[in-house]
Structure 1
Amino acid sequence: MKISGKIRMILILFLVFLNISCDQISKRVVRQTIEPYERIEVFKDHFVLTKVENTGAAYSLGSDLGPILKIFLLQILPVIVLLFLLRQILIKTNYSKETIIGFAFIIGGGAGNLLDRIMYGSVTDFLILDLVVIKTEIFNLADVSIMLGGVLILYSSLFGKKEVLKNKINELD
């Protein structure tokens, strides 16, 4: 079933804004209810809520940069990249569904963290996982969106082409 251009665009924008909204709502709740560095063990030491304000990027990279360089690298450049990615998935129609969803998640997550940097001067992180196979640093829902988006794009890149090739071969039969 082919989706019309307008509906496709609306669905993509909805997915982007859904990711931004989930991220911003969760951060608002954390900012209002958890004290800085307070530790709430949801499931022993395996799932912990806390609140940290990160003035840099991942792992606080760039937090020591000068103000102008920090604004350029952590605000202006990300805006340009996110707008370019959004333009690509809105205009180009030959991407797989997984790739479009993946980029929408990455754009939504990136925009969520970008909003924090612009509005508060830092990104609110609040989740820590320590499971048998997964041990994380502190993160937020925007980071989850970005990671899930990356996994979807990787999946599509690795396995999507086989489907296209299989369909092309079937068309020749």
Structure 2
Amino acid sequence: MILIIVLMTVGCDQVSKELTRQKVEPEVFIPVIKNHLILTNVENTGAMLGFGQDFSPILKRLLLQALPMLLLLIMLYRIMSKPNLNLLLLVAFALVIGGGLGNLIDRIAYGSVTDFFQFRLGIFRTGIFNIADVAVTIGVFMFVFLIARGKKPAI
């Protein structure tokens, strides 16, 4: 089940990014639901919200490729080797791993991550994000919720 969630997350993420690269002109903002949901095509050479864009290429490879790859592999190994983890905890970690791998694939293959969604509600605007970012965010919120409810992660 863990691998299915990871593979589905990576697959949906990569297909949506490829469609965006093929069908949406870079830096164009297309209203999908009035001005509340925007479709665009932005290449992020850094991490979340552009953090690290100005790092040297070597530092970017270490912090945005090597370190995440190591952490994702350790996380996957740990959850695969624990037979009695809470089902929701497994789903949370699988979403984080799948989302992390989706963005890591972009960084390795293209040198940047394709982001394409933005929400705008009045003065509130999100950063521009993708399916991998959504998966990681949902996984982290699930993890925090489970910890708040007293479920120990044991990872």
TM-score interval (norm. to shorter): over 0.9
**Native 8 Å contact 1:82 1:111 kept in 2:** yes
Residue 76 of structure 1 and its aligned partner are, at CA, apart by 0.5
Residue 68 of structure 1 is matched in structure 2 by 58
Pair 1:12 & 2:2 matched: yes
Matched position secondary structure for 1:50: strand
Larger deviation: 150-159 or 16-25? 150-159
Larger deviation: 64-73 or 124-133? 124-133
Matched position secondary structure for 2:114: strand
Residue 143 of structure 2 is matched in structure 1 by 153
TM-score, normalised to structure 1's length?
A: 0.84
Structure 1 regions of 5+ residues with no counterpart? Answer: 1-10, 163-173
Give the CA RMSD over aligned residues.
Answer: 1.6
Matched position secondary structure for 2:69: helix
**Native 8 Å contact 1:17 1:108 kept in 2:** yes
Matched position secondary structure for 1:130: strand
TM-score, normalised to structure 2's length?
A: 0.93
**What letter is aligned with 2:88?**
E
Query: Which structure has the larger Rg?
Result: 1
**Native 8 Å contact 1:82 1:107 kept in 2:** yes
**Native 8 Å contact 1:42 1:49 kept in 2:** yes
Aligned mates of 1:159, 1:126 — CA distance in 2: 34
**Native 8 Å contact 1:96 1:160 kept in 2:** no
Residue 90 of structure 2 is matched in structure 1 by 100
Matched position secondary structure for 2:67: helix
Matched position secondary structure for 1:128: strand
* Structure with bigger RCO (C-alpha 8 Å, 6+ apart): 2
Structure 2 regions of 5+ residues with no counterpart? Answer: none
Pair 1:88 & 2:74 matched: no
Aligned 1:4-83 pairs, distance under 5 A: 11-83=1-73
Larger deviation: 36-45 or 90-99? 90-99
Greater helix percent: which structure?
1
Aligned mates of 1:73, 1:117 — CA distance in 2: 11
Pair 1:128 & 2:100 matched: no
**Native 8 Å contact 1:102 1:148 kept in 2:** yes
Decide which of 94, 111, 123 is 2:101's aligned counterpart.
Answer: 111
Task: Call closer, same or farther: CA 1:89–1:132 in 2, change over 3 Å.
Answer: farther
Cα deviation code 1:30-55 (max 9, x no counterpart): 00000001111001110000010000
